[in-house]
Amino acid sequence: MKIISGMLSLLALTAWLAGALTAQDNSAAKKGDKATAVKVAAPPVKFYVVNGSGDSRDLSESLAEVIRCRCLPWGMETICWTTGLTTIDDHAGVANHRRWGHNLAARANAYRQAHANAKIYLLGHSSGSHVALAAAECAPPGTFDRVVLLAASVSCFYDLRPALRACREGIDNFYSTEDGILDLAVDMLGSADGKKIVAAGQIGFRTPRPPFPEHELYRRLRQFPWSVCVEWTGHHGGHVGALQPAFLQAYVLPIALTPWTAPIMGAGTRAPR
């Protein structure tokens, strides 16, 4: 019931996003004030997208489709981090993940310096989630507004504290216990951060308790388990289900664009322990 209630709340967020975008698009000066009306430009919105292994473009293409169909004034940049070798090499290339993480952090920081009021979002899928987290870890505090992870292939005990410091509003993690691809990948190769531990994209991140240092940072981690009630979007619990345009539009974007608030006990989005 907690999961269902949590997903119902996401539907409300979807309605909120649609209303907010409509209000922004239809805003105009009152009659009689046209001569003095001044149109105020909205702060720029920038998405950095880190796809999964094998030179995938699935997340980028789905997000681009949503932006195009909704005629949204958002910018998007795809980080082409893969090795050009095999999917296995991409998944297991921890050093390459961190190298591209540094590269991405430098790009995002330069954009932040040029656009202090911009909304900067970082989206990572599968092995690309490790690149995204590596970027946040070495970026200055407040570089990103949110980091969004879809089917993350890093271990469930991954230390998120350095990445959380770089995020103004925290990290969102979408995971599914039905993700058989992650189950197989971790069993054969380990997680994307080189651990033989179940992935956060399957069971969520494990959150530390006191007296673990800076455990309070994890209050800015929001986690969303897959549920059958989202199957209408084409997300059936598999590894690429969260990349469906309908799921991105109905659930991921409304959550990412909603300002962070302290978690409510029993709200259904509490991180597993």
pLDDT at 261: 60
Note the pLDDT of residue 209: 86
In this prediction, residue 256 carries a pLDDT of: 86
Instruction: Tell me what pLDDT residue 177 has.
Output: 97
Q: How far apart are the first and last CA of the chain?
A: 18
Instruction: Give residue 31's pLDDT.
Output: 39
- In order of 27, 52, 263, the CA distances from 103 in angstroms are 38, 17, 33
pLDDT (tens digit, 0 to 9) for every residue of the chain, 273 residues total?
434 444 444 444 444 444 444 444 444 334 334 433 334 454 589 999 999 999 999 999 999 999 999 999 999 999 999 999 999 999 999 999 999 999 999 999 999 999 999 999 999 999 999 999 999 999 999 999 999 999 999 999 999 999 999 999 999 999 999 999 999 999 999 999 999 999 999 999 999 888 888 889 999 999 999 999 999 999 999 999 999 999 999 999 998 888 766 544 333 344 343
Name beta bridge partners: 199: 155
Domains and their CATH numbers in the chain: 43-256 (3.40.50.1820)
Q: What is the DSSP letter of 108?
A: H
> Which pLDDT does position 211 carry in this prediction?
86
**Buried residues in 202-213 as b, exposed as e (16+ CB within 10 A):** bbbbbbbeeeee
Q: What is the pLDDT of residue 260?
A: 65
In the prediction, which pLDDT does 46 show? 95
